[in-house]
Structure 1
Amino acid sequence: MGKFKMRSKDLRGMSVEELEKTLRELRIKLMGLRYKAKVGLLENPGELREARRNVARILTVLREKREGEKA
């Protein structure tokens, strides 16, 4: 995952498995960013914010897809 904003439109085109894989990768990256922030090594604090928002976007799309399957 690079330093970019994931678009919800693009995420909706992904399968549930792809979204879950991306979510796992982002959460690992987020843990690393949080560690860097704590020890003062984080060069760009905006990266932490963007990673959190990307996780939220993926969770939102996953929820939408799962609710769509139930209906």
Structure 2
Amino acid sequence: MKKLEKAEIRKKTISELNDELVELKEELFKLRFQHATNQLENPQKLVSCRRDIARVKTILRERELRGIQE
């Protein structure tokens, strides 16, 4: 999975962001499982996935505070 860019995230609607968040959480679960069983080749993927989740949550929270409904 590639890094999500801020501009790319901001273009999405709230429902698309929620879907993206669910996908990222599933991906993080899989990565954690692979890491625990020593099958994860690149541990940096865990960090990247967590940061992507934080980016999506930040944008969702900003929109919630502004009251923007798309």
TM over 0.5: yes
The residue number in structure 1 matching 2:21 is: 23
Mapping for residues 33-44 of structure 1, pairs under 5 Å: 33-44=31-42
For 1:15-49, what per-residue CA distance to the aligned partner results, in whole angstroms no more than 9, with x for missing partners?
A: 00000000000000100000100110001111111
Which stretches of structure 1, 4 residues or longer, exceed 3 Å deviation after superposition? Answer: none
- Unaligned 5+ residue runs, structure 2? none
Give the aligned residue type for 1:42: L
Aligned position for 1:57: 55
Taking only aligned residues, the RMSD between alpha carbons, in angstroms, comes to 1.0
Match of 2:30 in 1: 32
Q: Distance between the aligned counterparts of 2:36 and 2:67, measured in 1?
A: 40
Aligned residues: 68
- TM superposition shift of 1:10: 1.1
Map of 1:45 onto structure 2: 43
